Structure 1
Amino acid sequence: MDAARDEAFASGLEYDFNGETDVVQTRPQDQVNLLGLQAKAQRLIAAGQPEATLTFRGLKNVNRELTATEVEALTLAALGHIEGIYQKSWQLKDRLDAALEAGEHEKLKEVFW
């Protein structure tokens, strides 16, 4: 289950950058970068500078200059994607645990990503 979860993180999130699709990477090391970008964007927005730009680079290795407001939207989408992966992983692990506790080993085959 952990391997499937990690593969989902590695697949990332397709995101539309003004008509061009790229993948926002969401592996654990990318999650740290996303949180850092989000913090910078939030500080700029709070300082009254929502149009200040930050550089973002997705899977296509293209530098994109995004406004703080755009970075905030992007990071919220990516963090929502990450949360969804964790939620799915937890639900499946709970189903596995319940089947094991109940001794219903045949149900283990029904639990897959």
Structure 2
Amino acid sequence: RKDPKDLESYLIPAYAVEEAPPLPISGKARIWENGRWAYIIDDRGKTAWKTDGSGGSIVVTELGSVASGWTIKTFVPMSTWSGSAWVLNRLLVIADKSKEVGAVRESKIAEGVPYDFADGHGTVQTRDLVDVRNIQTNVMTALILQGAGEIRPVMPFRDSENVTHLMTPAQMLSMALAISQHGQVIYNRSWKLKDAVEGMTTEKIAIFDVKANW
């Protein structure tokens, strides 16, 4: 509107200036500061990540650089912040992959042990400690019976298919040995994989597929 004291002039509205703002720049906001236009970092709406490696994050709501201890560079798991980028931490990557190898190993063990019983094929359950204790108990019983001279199929054993097999003490011990050897093969494989992982570059470890290479 016109200046009431000078009808030939117009008043400038509050928070307005006569000078046109500069052209926009991606990632920057234009502000009027100290009598001139200036650019300021504008990361509003972006995710900022804690640089302590915890994976904590917030959404940026203010203009300007994020506070110390934060970065808008997307967090990379098992990495440490170098001050300008996320860098994979070799020790963390190896530990994580070793844990993955262990998990696959346990899943392989839990699948059970295929076994040819005297009266047909079946699978010995090795899912957990309960199954292991059952096998151990049968081994102890077989040793006692064998020591007493028992050679008849007097020991019932139920497989994972819920089929009961009558076994001699010697057969029970042979089965236990086969289970032990099966487990040893799995453990040997896991140790070889862990050794192989430690010989890889950090980047290759991070993308190494344990299941595919088992």
Q: Shorter-chain TM-score: what band?
A: 0.7 to 0.9
Q: Could you tell me how far 1:13 is from its partner in structure 2?
A: 1.4
Percent of residue pairs bearing the same amino acid type: 33
RMSD: 2.0
Match of 1:7 in 2: 107
Secondary structure of 1:48 counterpart: coil
Residue of structure 2 in register with 1:64 after alignment: 165
**4+ aligned runs moved over 4 Å, structure 1:** none
State the TM-score, normalizing by the size of structure 2.
0.46
- Count matched residues: 109
Unaligned regions of 5+ residues in structure 2, if any? 1-100
Task: Tell whether 2:202 aligns with 1:105.
Answer: yes
Question: Which has the bigger relative contact order, CA under 8 A and spacing at least 6?
Answer: 1
The structure with more helix, counted as a fraction of residues: 1
> 2:157–2:164: 8 Å Cα contact kept in structure 1?
yes
Q: Is the 8 A contact 2:155 2:167 kept in 1?
A: yes
Q: How does 1:1-113 map to 2 (within 5 A)?
A: 1-18=101-118, 20-29=120-129, 30-51=131-152, 53-99=154-200, 104-108=201-205, 109=208, 112-113=213-214
* In 2, Cα distance between equivalents of 1:81 and 1:105: 32
Give the whole-Å Cα distance in 1 for the aligned partners of 2:160 and 2:105: 19
Deviates more, 1:87-96 or 1:56-65: 87-96
1:66-99 CA distance string (max 9 Å, x none):
1111111111111111111111112212222343
Between structure 1 and structure 2, the one with the greater Rg is: 2
In 2, the alpha carbon distance for the partners of 1:57 and 1:9 equals: 18
